[in-house]
Structure 1
Amino acid sequence: MNIRDLHDTHDDGQPPSADILAGEYVLGVLDAAQRADAQRRIASDPGFARLVNQWEERLAPLLESLGSQPVPAHLWPRIRTSLGWPAVGTAAPRIWQRTGFWQGMTALAAVVALVAVFNRQQLQPVLPPPTPVAVTPTTPATPAEPEQATKPVTPLLHDDGSPGWLASVDKAQGKVLMVPVPAAADAAGRAPELWLIPAGGKPRSLGLVSINRAHTVSVPDTLRDALVNGSVLAITLEPASGAPGGIPTGPIIAKGDIAAL
């Protein structure tokens, strides 16, 4: 899987930005040839190496916070059989054989998609320091604009604590970026619908959401004031055309409190 497939961007045939490539390298989703190219770039490009280090520092705490869960004894033999691999003994599961590890990697890939959508910036070439030259300034220097802050991420969790969607709220623009952890469609043909629930208020529909690709949900002007701490984002399963009358009828399958704005 390539994390660039997780969000809606126009494919112009150009290679990914250095920042996205660094994130994919840290996640380990590059193929062998791409990974070898990235490793050579780390050794020769200090700017790219710095981006890789920043991604490692940014993502490591999230992976640790997800923890892990024991894997049922029957699960891995069945997976090995379906892949055509030989059976193995009952040795203790390795790190990549833990449910929490794969949940964590999927969630991290989604976070990369969020950052790529909201914080994509053009990278400036790394230049050697200029030779000092004595000059007399004629006008005061214009202060640099502060970097755009990363928007907070609200995980919408299933009952078992696993992430179903990640949401990034932009109250000023009245938009919510929804990044799903890819999942199978509902067997009964129902569709996931996003709801905004103000503290002490009734659920208000924000429309149907995808289960396999990131997209932006527009929030009506009348509901923007509810995009605050204390409100909840929730997902229910509704008819394919949406909840009748704007009232939730199906079960809540994921929810999360809006993160600090």
Structure 2
Amino acid sequence: MSPSAKMNLTPNERTAQAGEYVLGLIEGADRTAFEQQLESDPELAASVESWRRHFAGIDATATPLAPSPTLWSRIEAELATLAQNAAPARAATTTILRKTAPYAGSRLSAWWNSLFVWRGAAFAGALAAIPLAIGLDGALDRARRQPVMVAVLLTEASVAAAVVNTFADGRVEMVPLQAIHVPEGKALEIWTLWDRAVGPRSVGLIERARTTKLRLDQLPLGKDQLFEITLEPATGSPTGRPTGPIVAKGTTAQAL
């Protein structure tokens, strides 16, 4: 985006752009240009900091995960396989050393066949393998939990009220970023719209702002798909379409 185009952005668009920056959705030359603008634009920098405080709430909901119960058995199996594969090579090397260096054979052979030496080497290898295996296991788990698309739902005042995360396995969840007042007898209904000809479809009904799984099993899901929250009767919209005021809305974007 050119500097002149950035200057023509509305306040709402600038706020949304700051949110995209914090989520990592701006990259390449656009990211470089945005960060240069941050250095001379206190208002934009304040918007970025506000987004960071909002998204800090999402980080706080992440539950620490213990290593997989099968991790240790996998490590032991790998060590056993390595030991079996190393035995023939160790025997062949010992034979070569005896033939080519008889003058040092007895001493080197004693060292080479020392059970203490090999136990120490195996133990050191095991210690090195443990953090690597744990790291790989954690990396795979983080990849499974990393959303592939996100939608930041903004209020009319351009304040982030919630985030919708979509995952590679088809899961879709809404995570509130702030408390939303729900009057007695009312509820928050979550909608999605991918085709104006079809119209919005309800994907969730909650009595208060909380993390909730959305029901999109049989519905399309793609980039630039609208999600919004409206205030409806406690039993949901009587028409099957949004009838109450819009609490927040936003469209999906590809997560990097």
Q: TM-score, normalised by structure 2?
A: 0.48
Higher helix share: 2
Look at both structures and tell me which one has the larger radius of gyration over its CA atoms: 2
